[in-house]
């Protein structure tokens, strides 16, 4: 659904319009770190549990009172946060209107748009959620992250240099990840809880970056996810907080592109899975579980034939001091000394119409990464120039690892398009979000 100007319209157009209002000086929307973004969700969870956090940087403020479903009420049951990777606000809104699921009205009634962080990418968003801080504070601003101490770009998900074929090379012999993030997970600061995520992610450096201090419970398949979540929430003494992560919607949209049928199918399936959890727990426990559902980013279409190899554009490459960092929809470029004007001019000549260029100092001043205090390496990790290519283009660097190649994605994210930036925050008892309270136990 779209308004006459072509902008998508969801369930709450006034809230959407407020979140998408351009920032002064940039003519671009950005994250609402003051009370309507993912770090604020984490801060609200901390406040609701009554935890006094130990040493660490200040967290973002809690959610704005008008959308905070938790307040300072500890509740009488566990708190579940389900992070659905790749679920944008607008496709969620469309699903909630047309789905035949009996739970869809409860999802719509308990939903508000919020923003993710910038860049709108999983790495930055999940670290923000697990630490309650903004990318400006924790410094994990991209999946391909420049680390000054190494003088090179690392793949954060593999915890290795981008030119390396290995994994976990940045993890010390004692399991530490010194120097990656400037903020410890909330679980290390006193928040007690359990992370439910893919078994394949157990013990990885990135999982430790997110969940160190929490119990990690892995699952293998969709049915295993439902059974595992029911077992965790159904314990005689369940954990106060459960962070659950679901990645399949993200995977299929990368491969198949932006298609509302993908979102509809996945959300109907998740309602069914949550319905199984609710039925397994029984009515009393299912009603006591306060459930929040949110996401790390939405999606825009990309064309595999229109991905730009920066190193093959000599005007741009010769003005760059180091390899491309960031992500395909949000590239970070560092200029050679005295060449920033040349680099910017070359990008303006060679990039497709509709692309945006932001000088990093302007982006920081506009608060795109969050307010101070900044990670001490923030400015150096980003570089000098941010490139936001027009849809459906993307930016690629060379593939330095032998035999590696960039996947031919048809959907992507990390930029500041409305579809990437806005995500849902859905709240309600697990019994309602699983459909159990509306159908006598059947979703």
pLDDT tens for residues 370-382?
Answer: 999 999 999 999 9
Instruction: Point out the least confidently predicted range of 92-101, 157-166, 295-304.
Output: 157-166
CA 73, 76, 78, 80 torsion-angle sign: negative
The pLDDT value recorded for residue 440 is 41
Mean pLDDT of 322-335: 96
CB atoms near residue 294 (< 10 Å): 21
Options 3.40.50.620, 3.90.650.10, 3.40.720.10, 3.40.50.1110; CATH for 13-301+419-439 is 3.40.720.10
Q: What distance in Å separates the CA atoms of residue 264 and residue 254, rounded to the nearest whole number?
A: 16
- Contact predicate 396/243, CB 8 Å: no
Provide the token pair at 131.
């630490």
Q: How far is CA 8 from CA 12, 94, 296, in A?
A: 11, 10, 19
Is 436 a residue whose pLDDT tops 70?
no
Where does the pLDDT of residue 443 fall: very low under 50, low under 70, confident under 90, or very high at 90 and above? very low
Provide the token pair at 165.
């074929």
CATH architecture of 304-410: 2-Layer Sandwich (3.30)
Q: Mind listing the pLDDT tens digit for each residue in 336-370?
A: 999 999 999 999 999 999 999 999 999 999 999 99
The pLDDT value recorded for residue 408 is 84
The pLDDT value recorded for residue 398 is 78
The pLDDT value recorded for residue 223 is 97
Where does the pLDDT of residue 5 fall: very low under 50, low under 70, confident under 90, or very high at 90 and above? very low
Quickly list DSSP for 368-404.
SS-SSSPPTTHHHHH-SEEEEPPTT-EEE----STT-
Q: What distance in Å separates the CA atoms of residue 35 and residue 41, rounded to the nearest whole number?
A: 8
Greater pLDDT, 165 or 422: 422
What does the DSSP 8-state code read for residue 2?
B
Instruction: Point out the least confidently predicted range of 63-77, 262-276, 396-410, 426-440.
Output: 396-410
Where does the pLDDT of residue 255 fall: very low under 50, low under 70, confident under 90, or very high at 90 and above? very high
What is the CA angle 150-361-29, rounded to 5?
A: 110
Separation of CA 226 from chain center: 22
Three-state DSSP at 143 gives coil
What is the CA angle 57-60-63, rounded to 5?
A: 155
Is 404 a residue whose pLDDT tops 80?
no
The pLDDT value recorded for residue 3 is 46
- Contact predicate 409/266, CB 8 Å: no
What is the percent of the chain with per-residue pLDDT over 90, rounded to a whole number?
85
Q: Mind listing the pLDDT tens digit for each residue in 13-64?
A: 999 999 999 988 788 999 999 999 999 999 999 999 999 999 889 999 999 9
CA 270, 272, 273, 275 torsion-angle sign: positive
Mean pLDDT of 217-223: 98
Is 304 a residue whose pLDDT tops 70?
yes
Q: Mind listing the pLDDT tens digit for each residue in 138-177?
A: 999 999 999 999 999 999 999 999 988 888 888 876 556 7
The pLDDT value recorded for residue 345 is 98
Q: What are phi and psi of 344, to 5 degrees?
A: -65, -40
Q: What distance in Å separates the CA atoms of residue 84 and residue 194, rounded to the nearest whole number?
A: 17
Q: What distance in Å separates the CA atoms of residue 179 and residue 187, rounded to the nearest whole number?
A: 19
Q: What distance in Å separates the CA atoms of residue 4 and residue 377, rounded to the nearest whole number?
A: 44
Is 81 a residue whose pLDDT tops 80?
yes
Residue with tokens 């004692």: 174
Give the mean pLDDT of the chain: 92
Q: What distance in Å separates the CA atoms of residue 111 and residue 107, rounded to the nearest whole number?
A: 6
Provide the token pair at 193.
């809880």
Kindly give the pairing relationship between strand 215-219 and strand 160-161.
Answer: unpaired
Query: Where in the chain are the domains?
Result: 13-301+419-439, 304-410
Same-fold call for 13-301+419-439 versus 304-410: no
Q: What distance in Å separates the CA atoms of residue 293 and residue 424, rounded to the nearest whole number?
A: 7
């Amino acid at each position: 659904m779209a308004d006459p100007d072509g902008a998508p319209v969801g369930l709450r157009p006034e809230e959407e319009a407020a979140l998408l209002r351009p920032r002064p000086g940039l003519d671009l929307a950005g994250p609402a770190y003051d009370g309507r973004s993912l770090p604020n969700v984490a801060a609200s969870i901390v406040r609701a549990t009554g935890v006094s956090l130990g040493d660490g940087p200040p967290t973002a403020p809690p959610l704005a009172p008008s959308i905070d479903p938790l307040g300072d009420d500890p509740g009488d049951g566990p708190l579940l946060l389900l992070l659905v990777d790749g679920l944008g606000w607008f496709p969620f809104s469309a699903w909630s209107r047309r789905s035949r699921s009996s739970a869809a009205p409860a999802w719509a009634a308990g939903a508000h748009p919020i923003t993710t962080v910038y860049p709108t990418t999983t790495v930055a968003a999940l670290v923000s959620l697990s630490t309650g801080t903004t990318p400006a504070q924790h410094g994990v601003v991209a999946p391909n992250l420049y680390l000054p101490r190494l003088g090179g770009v690392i793949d954060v998900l593999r915890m290795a240099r981008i030119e390396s074929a290995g994994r976990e090379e940045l993890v010390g012999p004692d399991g530490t990840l010194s120097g990656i993030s400037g903020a410890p997970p909330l679980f290390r600061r006193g928040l007690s809880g359990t992370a439910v995520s893919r078994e394949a992610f157990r013990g990885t450096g990135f999982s430790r970056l997110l969940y160190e201090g929490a119990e990690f419970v892995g699952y293998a398949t969709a049915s295993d996810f439902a059974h595992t979540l029911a077992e965790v929430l159904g314990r005689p003494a369940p954990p106060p907080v459960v962070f659950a992560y679901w990645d399949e919607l993200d995977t299929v949209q990368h491969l198949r592109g932006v298609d509302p049928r993908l979102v509809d199918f996945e959300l109907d399936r998740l309602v069914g899975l949550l319905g199984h959890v609710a039925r397994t727990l029984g009515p009393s426990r299912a009603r006591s579980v306060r459930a929040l559902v949110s996401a790390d980013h939405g999606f825009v279409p990309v064309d595999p034939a229109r991905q730009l190899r920066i190193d093959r554009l000599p005007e741009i490459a010769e003005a760059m001091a180091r390899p491309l960092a960031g992500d395909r929809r949000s590239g970070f470029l560092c200029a050679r000394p005295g060449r920033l004007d040349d680099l910017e001019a070359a990008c303006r000549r060679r990039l497709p119409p509709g692309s945006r260029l932001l000088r990093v100092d302007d982006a920081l001043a506009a608060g795109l990464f969050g307010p101070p205090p900044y990670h001490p390496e923030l400015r150096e990790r980003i570089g000098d120039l941010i490139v936001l290519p027009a849809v459906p283009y993307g930016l690629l660097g060379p593939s330095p690892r032998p035999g590696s190649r960039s996947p031919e994605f048809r959907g992507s994210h990390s930029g500041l398009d409305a579809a990437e930036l806005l995500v849902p925050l859905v709240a309600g008892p697990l019994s309602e979000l699983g459909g159990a309270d509306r159908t006598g136990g059947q979703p």
